[in-house]
Structure 1
Amino acid sequence: MTLRKLIYWFFSTLILGCVTAIILGFLFEQAAGEVLFGSLTSQLLLGLTLAAVAELGFFAYLVFNWLAKGLLRKKTVYDTVMLLLILILTGNLLYLNFAKYQGEEFWLHLLVPTVIVLSAILIAGLKQKWTNQSAYIPTLFFVIAATTIEAIPSINPKEGEVPLLIIMHTVLVLLVCNAWQILQLHRWVQPSPAERGKKGKFAKSTKAGAKNTHKQKKKK
């Protein structure tokens, strides 16, 4: 990944988080009929914060994925571990909602894990379609794991309860940012046509130089 692409990833994710937070904030406030997220500035700062959290989560996933692939050489073992972690995270998320909410509120709060899992399946399907079949399970794991961990402060706060609309707002903004990052990753890491041309020219010049050196040695 070049510096230019790195800067693009950073700022594009921040902008996307801000825009998503403002749009969803407006829609949720209209649905609730009350102010939930404060002024436009507050919503902007909230979007920036959530996008920054998503970027940190994405970077952590890249490091984790690199280490996991180094330890688990076989693809089947790697996928099995990822699926087990997905089940553990989803189970913990369901337990958190069950322990915190009961009765009708519990069924309403089941929307949160349902939205996360269904969105992850959709995003993983797109990633598989745009890249290759082996990308499905890692993408599924990233979307579920990253979004769940990043949204924990809203889902399970230390004090009091957070309204469902605010939880959904947080989860959806994180999902949009995480989807953007994982779906664009293969484009950011692969070299552009111009970069490929430069590499090709460099390789040709290196080969030509090696041939000339070899010929000079033969003459001697």
Structure 2
Amino acid sequence: MKSRNWVRLFLSTLLVGGVATSIIGFLLKWEEYKELFITFDVLEILSVLFWLFGVGLIFSVISQMGFFAYLTIHRFGLGIFRSTSLWNIAQILLIIFVLFDLVYFRYQLFSKENEALTSYLLIAGYVFIVGLIVAFMKRKDTNKEAFVPALFFMIVVTVIEWFPALRVNEEDWLLLMLIPIQICNAYQLLMLPKFLQQKRS
């Protein structure tokens, strides 16, 4: 890919991350922020928007680091296993482990007395479902061999990128970081072929 197209992908992903975080941030704390809109406090709204957009840029950079790291790891994996099917099996096993870890170890670390496992299962289920949807979209856009790598990226790499919020374990931060990272990851995964086509054209 030409450096110009890499820059375009980088900048567009930054914009996606900033906008997504701004929207998600206002939605998550709407009860807190709606008074600003009712009173039409423009300066305060712009202040909050500026902060959320800046946080979104950070999330976007984390997402892009994870994406380029995975592109490298994927090539290494294919080289080490010397077989796409064996590498896919390894990725599937890692997906299962990460989803299990996302439920069991988080429950062990953060659950309160007599707290049900339900909320921990729901968040892992949400990550899995979003991963499946994006992986099916990637498969449809390219080929069936892209399904497992896309699923691995959308689950395993997303959870690794999400780790700072997982350590804090505050609900608002969990969702504020997770959803924009998923959006940025999906955007890069689905848009990369289009930027590659720009190179050939």
Q: State the Cα distance separating 1:181 from its structure 2 match.
A: 0.5
Counterpart Cα distance in 1 of 2:165 and 2:139 = 30
Q: State the Cα distance separating 1:90 from its structure 2 match.
A: 1.0
Counterpart Cα distance in 2 of 1:105 and 1:176 = 29
Matched, 1:101 2:111: yes
Counterpart Cα distance in 2 of 1:112 and 1:144 = 12
Which residue of structure 1 aligns with residue 145 of structure 2? 134
Matched, 1:167 2:174: yes
After superposition, the CA RMSD in angstroms is: 1.7
Matched, 1:123 2:134: yes
Which residue of structure 2 aligns with residue 16 of structure 1? 16
Residue identity in the other structure for 1:95: Y
Which residue of structure 1 aligns with residue 70 of structure 2? 61
Larger Rg: 1
CA contact (8 A) 2:102 2:120 kept: no
Q: State the Cα distance separating 1:193 from its structure 2 match.
A: 5.4
Task: Check 1:17–1:191 CA distance in 2 against 1; reply closer, same or farther (3 A cut).
Answer: closer
Matches within 5 A, 1:37-48: 39-48=48-57
- Calculate the TM-score normalised by the size of structure 2: 0.86
Task: Check 1:114–1:7 CA distance in 2 against 1; reply closer, same or farther (3 A cut).
Answer: same
Residue identity in the other structure for 2:23: I
Which residue of structure 1 aligns with residue 96 of structure 2? 87
- Structure 1 unmatched runs, 5+: 195-220
Counterpart Cα distance in 2 of 1:127 and 1:143 = 11
Which residue of structure 2 aligns with residue 76 of structure 1? 85
- Calculate the TM-score normalised by the size of structure 1: 0.79
CA contact (8 A) 1:124 1:139 kept: yes
SS in 2 for 1:39: helix
Task: Check 1:173–1:84 CA distance in 2 against 1; reply closer, same or farther (3 A cut).
Answer: same
Instruction: Percent identity, please.
Output: 29
Larger relative contact order (Cα-Cα within 8 Å, sequence gap ≥ 6):
2
CA contact (8 A) 1:112 1:168 kept: no
Which residue of structure 2 aligns with residue 188 of structure 1? 195
Counterpart Cα distance in 2 of 1:25 and 1:156 = 19
- Structure 2 unmatched runs, 5+: 34-46
Q: State the Cα distance separating 1:92 from its structure 2 match.
A: 1.1
Equivalent of 1:34 in 32, 47, 52: 32
Residue identity in the other structure for 1:121: L
